[in-house]
Structure 1
Amino acid sequence: MISGLLVAGVGALVFGFVVRSMNRGPDVSDLVEEELLKGAVVVDVRSAAEFASGHVAGALNIPVDQIAARMGELPADKTVIVYCRSGARSAAAARTLTSAGRKVVDARTAGSFPNR
């Protein structure tokens, strides 16, 4: 009886994972890659020191607290992909850019932020 319950429990768990993965949509890396192929600009919003310790090749470094002031460095007609270490700063940068009418993708979640 215990083995039957164990099998049923494992089956329910596997079914849950399958359903959840089917509802997730495209993989984060697929969405980021799609935007990169369209010529998106990658912006590392970490501090200059963090950027110097390692970053995505070709990324620009605009710390989150400078995004509003330095927005003119980013082409207005390109999607901006933002990233940081944990996702908090990239989310803040995405909000700032989006409020200015930019198309933004947060690389950590591949969340697209609609222009408002």
Structure 2
Amino acid sequence: MFGILKNMFSKEDNNLSQKINDEAFLVDVRSSAEFAQGHVKGSVNIPLDQIPNLLSKFKGKKNIVVFCRSGARSSQAKAILERNGITNVTNGRTWQNVESLLTK
């Protein structure tokens, strides 16, 4: 079972890495205070509770990667965006995960 999960996440991370390094719109959905304590270089901070009011910021983006502290808020952000017709969204889970996949 562990091998299957490891393989699944490995493929998922390869796909995510390609999107991140192909100039994806990187969106940190944590609070502004959390963002100020550390964030992914080149990311923008749009807290989860502001997403419904800022949908225009997501329109026309080729790939969107949302992330947060644990992956819970980014999962919610992805669902909100998809309900509003923005379907090119990937949940990057944690900001540290996204940061680790950036090509240096």
Same fold (TM over 0.5): yes
What is the Cα deviation at residue 75 of structure 1? 3.9
Give identity over the alignment, percent: 39
Residue deviations 1:21-46 (CA, integer Å, cap 9, x gap): 45x26434312211123331000000
The number of residues matched between the two structures is: 94
Contact (CA 8 Å) 2:16, 2:92: kept in 1 or not? yes
* C-alpha contact 2:30 2:73 (8 A) present in aligned 1: yes
TM-score normalised by L of structure 1? 0.69
- Say which structure, 1 or 2, has more relative contact order (CA 8 Å, 6+ apart): 2
Distance 1:97 1:45 in 2: 12
Instruction: Give 1:59 shift.
Output: 0.4
Question: Whose radius of gyration is greater, 1 or 2?
Answer: 1
Matched, 1:30 2:14: yes
Deviation at 1:71, TM superposition (A): 1.6
Q: What is the root-mean-square deviation in Å for CA atoms of aligned residues?
A: 2.3
User: For 1:51-109, what per-residue CA distance to the aligned partner results, in whole angstroms no more than 9, with x for missing partners?
Assistant: 00000000000000001111212242421100000111001100011112221000128
The match for 1:106 is 91
- 1:82 pairs with 66, 70, 82, which one? 66
Q: Which of 87, 96, 100 is the aligned partner of 2:80?
A: 96
| Structure 1 residues not aligned, in runs of 5+ | 1-15, 110-116
| Letter matched to residue 64 of structure 1 | L
- Structure 1 residues 18, 41: CA separation in 2 closer, same or farther (over 3 Å shift)? same
3-state secondary structure, aligned to 1:39: coil
TM-score, scaled relative to structure 2: 0.76
Q: Distance in 2 between matches of 1:90 and 1:28?
A: 16
Tell me which moved more, 57-66 or 35-44. 35-44
Name stretches of at least 5 consecutive residues in structure 2 with no aligned partner: 95-104
